[in-house]
Amino acid sequence: MTIQGILNTVAFVILCQIGIAQENSCKIKLDISVDKKLQKDFIENGRIYFFLSQNKRSEPYTQTFPFGARTHIFAQNIASFKSANHLKLEHDDQWISTVEWDLNNVPTGKYYVQVLWDHDIKESRINAPGNLYSSKELIDLTDEVELQLILNQVIESTPIIEHELAKEVEFKSELLSSFWNKPMTLKAAILLPRNYDPKKAYPIRYNVAGYGGRYHRINRQLGDKDFMKWWQSDEAPEIISVYLDGEGPFGDSYQLDSENSGPYGEALVTELIPFIEEEFRGTNTPENRFVDGCSTGGWVSLGLQIYYPDVFDGCFSYSPDAVDFENYQLINIYKDPNAFVNEFGYDRPVMRMPDGEPVLTLKDFLQYENVLGSSNTYLNSGGQFSAHAALYSPKGENGLPRALIDPTTGDIDHEVAEHWKKYDFKLYLQKNWNELGPKLADKIYIWMGDMDHFYLNYATHEFASFLEGTDSPKSDAVIDFAPYEGHCNQYSHKAALIQIQNKIDAKNE
């Protein structure tokens, strides 16, 4: 869900919470079957998700962010679900859920209900193509009920909108395939400039999405009449845009090397980028090669510039994830004993409104990821903290990353925290500034709202303070803090493209 979508649902959330705060409750039993047309490709081992929602506007299975629709999710792993049989589940089965009550004690009221069967093994999140779900149904819960739900829908893949300037790339990575001992591909979408000439050496911009964004997000630009009118006019810069794919084995790959996910950074810079630029750019020099993004994309774009300083000619990073782990949102991972509760005994918030009002606790956020993960923990949920663990942590047991934050208690493992230091940008630059400082000259631009929804401004302030104190060389990074602004409020693809062109023009003067 986008931050704007989250904000648009605030009033609805309040009404939903009031609506279910009732003393009366009832029991739910489930009778789940598979439509005969879908039984052929059904895989009998998977994870079943049951959704209870009061949001009439959306499919419940799409509401997995723990704010906004405030959909309640129940899940459990199922072995040997024969597609020709019925799966009967009761309130006392081995459910894990996002709420304190169970299916024996559901607050009465009207709900939209849905089940999803996750049998996909290729992608990390439950909305993967090929997974099955039932039609959304409205029920009025007043007494014990057995819901008969049929898995009759298939999540389809998202095609790229056909356009003469849009191209799709799927590339087999030898590095990742070797790491995983199976074929692994990287995907991207390309938006070419007007009057594209394949023999011309173009500037190129690699765009990194907010958390989990896929390469087919190019469709938003292709479907935006105003953007495309501008893009094909003489006013727009002639720059190739590459939309990188955020999919990885544990959620977003973050486009960097990981002990758990594999060499995504090396695969990007030594395999995918050369392949794309040989095909489309007319040159493979690092000059006029840029990277940008917001939120997760802000962190990744800055990380790629820092860890591969000779590969990129500049980054434009908006509202990046925590760049200093002494300020991992509101947590100091090196000193704090617990992530869920602060030193004053209060539940630690993970999200707020720009006026400062907290709206979501870290404990609640992580519980949603615990439910989404087939391990019953966030470590393979495909969510934000799953991806952080995969990137920053060492390998743990059963093929999972080691947890920095205990999924249940919130206790912090400080041995794991030491391992996270390799991607603490402030520490990394402090250690390597003499070598990296000259290579990063005139290459870093960061924007941050000073009322970031996810408390990311504190880490960025500490990072900025470090850069301001550097010498030999003195950092010339530009870091803009916008008072009273929230997460990604000033980011857009058009703005990033104009910034890139302005940088090119200034360099050529």
pLDDT in tens, 368-423: 999 999 999 999 999 999 999 999 999 999 999 999 999 999 999 999 999 999 99
Q: What's the pTM?
A: 0.93
Q: Is 467 helix (H, G, I), strand (E, B) or coil?
A: helix
Provide the 8-state DSSP code for 319.
S
Residue 22 has pLDDT above 60, yes or no: no
Average pLDDT over residues 110-120: 97
Confidence (pLDDT) at 509: 81
Residue 67 has pLDDT above 80, yes or no: no
419 half-sphere exposure, CB direction, 13 A CA radius: 21
Q: Domains in the chain, start-ordered, CATH in brackets?
A: 7-154 (2.60.40), 166-324+424-508 (3.40.50.1820), 326-422 (no CATH)
pLDDT band (50, 70, 90) for residue 508: confident
Confidence (pLDDT) at 17: 38
pLDDT band (50, 70, 90) for residue 91: confident
- Tell me: cis bond preceding 473? Omega within 30 of 0 counts: yes
Judge contact between 223 and 390, C-beta under 8 A. no
Average pLDDT across the chain, whole number: 94
Which among 383, 382, 362, 380 is positioned nearest to 454, based on CA atoms? Answer: 362
Residue 12 has pLDDT above 50, yes or no: no
Residue 210 has pLDDT above 60, yes or no: yes
Confidence (pLDDT) at 90: 87
Q: Is 303 left (phi over 0), alpha (psi -120 to 50) or beta?
A: alpha
Average pLDDT over residues 134-139: 96
Judge contact between 405 and 328, C-beta under 8 A. no
Q: What is the pLDDT of residues 305-333, one digit of tens each?
A: 999 999 999 999 999 999 999 999 999 99
- Any bridge partners for residue 185, and if so which? 172
Q: What is the pLDDT of residues 148-168, one digit of tens each?
A: 999 999 999 999 999 999 999
> How many other β-carbons are positioned within 10 Å of the β-carbon of residue 355?
8
d(CA 377, CA 408): 8
Confidence (pLDDT) at 502: 97
Judge contact between 276 and 173, C-beta under 8 A. no
Residue 37 has pLDDT above 90, yes or no: yes
Average pLDDT over residues 113-136: 96
Confidence (pLDDT) at 23: 60
Average pLDDT over residues 263-270: 98
pLDDT band (50, 70, 90) for residue 16: very low
Average pLDDT over residues 353-362: 96
Which among 357, 358, 401, 410 is positioned nearest to 383, based on CA atoms? Answer: 401
Confidence (pLDDT) at 68: 65
Q: How far is CA 59 from CA 231, 380, 471, in A?
A: 33, 23, 54
The tokens describing 475, both together, are 């950092």
Q: Considering only 1-15, 67-81, 172-186, 355-369, which range has the smallest mean pLDDT?
A: 1-15
